[in-house]
Amino acid sequence: MAAAGSAVGLGNIWKFPYIAGENGGGAFLIIYLVCVLLFGMPLLMTEFLIGKRSGKSAFGAFRELNGNGRWQWLSWLCMLTALLIMGFYFIVTGWCFNYLFEAVRNTFSGMSTEALTAHFSAVASDTPRMIAFSLLPMVLTAAVVWFDVNKGIERLSKILMPLLLGMMLLMVGRVLMLDGSNVGMQFFFRADFSAITPRVVMEAMGQCFFSLSIGMGALITYGAYMPKNQNVAATSVQVIVLDTLVAILAGVIIFPAVFAFGFNPAEGPQLVFVVLPAILQQMSLTWVSSVLFFALLCVAALTSTISLMEVMVAFICEASGALGQRKNGQPRRALSRQKSVMITSAVVGVLLVLCVLSMTGKADWLTIRGYNLFECFDDMTACVMMPLAALGMAVFVGWNLPKDGGRGVLNPSQGVKRWVGKAYIFALRWIVPLAIVIIFLNSLGVL
C-alpha cells in the first residue's frame, strides 16, 4: 500500500489528463496502457527485488550487487532525477495546497469557465505566493522524512487512498450526468491514431515511468522493507492496477467536464486546476466536497513527495559514509539522517525558488531555449532520465550481475509461478531495453 501511495499521486490526477488532452485522448490512452504492460511489470519487479535482496536503498543496493563499482553511476542518476522531479513536483503540490485553502474560503463559487482560467493564471504568476506554497509541502515532507516515520505512511495510505478513490467515483457519477459529457467520453475512449507521433510515444513512455514511480530507485527502498515471504509479482500487479485505475478515473472525471463546460482539452499543466473547481461546484455539499477532495489530493501528493525525498536523503546518508576516507585512513562517518534532510531541503528549496522565478517570468536567464525550468525538469526527467536509468537497471540486472551473490535478484521465488519468473527475465533482458532504445531512436528521427 505504501508503494501504491508513492505511485498514486499528481502523476495520475494532474499529469495524465493534461498530457492525454494534449496528445489526442484515446490514442494516447492505448499507447500508455501498452507502455504500462511492457515496462511497468518487469521494472517494478526489478526495483522491488533489488531492494528486497540487498535490504538497502539505491546507493547501497547497487554497491552491494555490482562488485566492481562500474554501475554506481546509476545511483547518482537516480538521485539527480529525484532532485529534479522535486524541483517541479512541489510546485504542483503547492497549487494543490493553494486550492485547498481557497476551497476552505469558498473562493470559487459562481466563477465562470473564463474566470477559473484567469484565476489559475493569477495564482501561478504570483511569485511570493507560489514560493510560499511550494515551500510549505516541502517542509511537511521534510518533517516526515526527518522523523523517519515512513512506516506510518503505510497506515495513512490504507485509510486515505480508498477515501480518495471513493470521492473520485462520486465525481465520475456527477460528471456523467452533465449535458454533453458524452463528447468527452468519446474524446477519451475513441482512438484517433492520426495524432500519434514518435514524440507522443516517448511522452507516453515517460508518463508510465513517472506515474508508476519507476526508473529512479524509489521503490528499491520499499523493496528493502518487504517481508521475505512477500510475493513480488503479485505486489507489482496490485500497484499497477491501482495506479492505472486512478489515472483512468481522473480521465473519466476531467474530459467529460472539459467538453461540457467548454474548456480546452489541450490546456496544458493548468488543465485539472481549472476544471476541478468547476466540477466541484456542481457536487452536492459543495463546500465539504471541495475541501475533502483537495485535502485528499494534497495527501496523495505528499505520499509521493515523501518517497521522492527519501531517495535523496538515503543517498546522501549512504554515500557520505561510503565515499572516500578521512586523512588518517579511518572510514568517514555517514552523515546523520537529520543532516541529510537539511542538505536536501536546502538544495530543493533553492531549486524551487529558481523554478518559480523562471515560471513567473521574473528571470529570463532561467529559461532553456524558451522553456522555463518547470517544463525542462518535467520533460527531462520523464522522457530522458528515467528511461535511461530504467535501461541501465534492465541491462545491469538482466545481463551484468555477478554470478555469485547477485543473481538471486533474477529469481523472484517466494510464491511466484515458474513461468512468471521466466517471462520476467525475458522481458527484462530483451523487451525493456529494446523498446526503450527503439522509442528513443524513433523520437530522435533516426529510425
| Contact positions vs ligand TRP (CB under 6 A) | 6-7, 9-12, 85, 210-211, 213, 216, 218, 304, 307-308
Least separation in angstroms between CB 157 and ligand TRP: 13
Rounded Cα gap, residues 257 and 121, in angstroms: 20
Least distance (Å) from ligand TRP to the CB of residue 163? 17
Nearest distance, CB of residue 149 and ligand TRP, angstroms? 17
Residue in 89, 396, 44, 72 with CA at minimum distance from that of residue 220: 44
Nearest distance in Å: CB 186, ligand TRP? 26
Taking the complex as a whole, how short is the minimal distance between the CB of residue 175 and ligand TRP, in angstroms? Answer: 22
- Shortest CB 97 distance to ligand TRP, Å: 15
Residue 117 or 303: the one with the smaller Cβ distance to ligand TRP is 303
Q: Which is nearer to ligand TRP, 6 or 98 (CB)?
A: 6
Which C-beta is closer to ligand TRP: that of 116 or that of 212?
212
Q: What is the DSSP letter of 372?
A: E
Cβ closest to ligand TRP, residue 6 vs residue 141: 6
309 vs 57: CA distance, rounded Å? 12
> Which triple of cell numbers denotes residue 127?
511569485
Which helix (H) or strand (E) segment holds residue 368: the answer is strand 367-368
Whose grid coordinates read 586523512?
327
Q: How far apart are CA 396 and CA 383, in angstroms?
A: 20
* Nearer CB in complex with ligand TRP: 3/65: 3
Q: Which residue lies nearer to ligand TRP by CB, 181 or 304?
A: 304
Nearest to ligand TRP of 7, 391 (CB atom): 7
Query: What's the CA gap between 394 and 383, in Å, rounded?
Result: 17
**DSSP code of 335?**
P
Residue-wise burial string across 308-318, b where 16 or more C-beta atoms lie within 10 A, e elsewhere: bbbbbbbbbbb
Cell 535511461 identifies what position? Answer: 388
Min dist. Cβ of residue 280 to ligand TRP (A):
21
Instruction: Name the amino acid, one letter, at 396.
Output: F
Q: Which residue is nearest to ligand TRP (CB)?
A: 11
- Shortest approach of ligand TRP to residue 340 CB, angstroms? 18
Question: Dihedral sign, CA of 394, 44, 250, 25?
Answer: positive
Residue burial 220-243, b: 16+ Cβ < 10 Å; e: rest: bbbbbbbeeeebbbebbbebbebb
Nearer to ligand TRP, 174 or 378 (CB): 378
Residue number, 54 or 305, with CB nearest to ligand TRP: 305
For 331, the 3-state DSSP assignment is strand
Q: Least distance (Å) from ligand TRP to the CB of residue 309?
A: 9
SS3 of 363, please? coil
446: number of CA atoms within 13 Å, CB side? Answer: 6
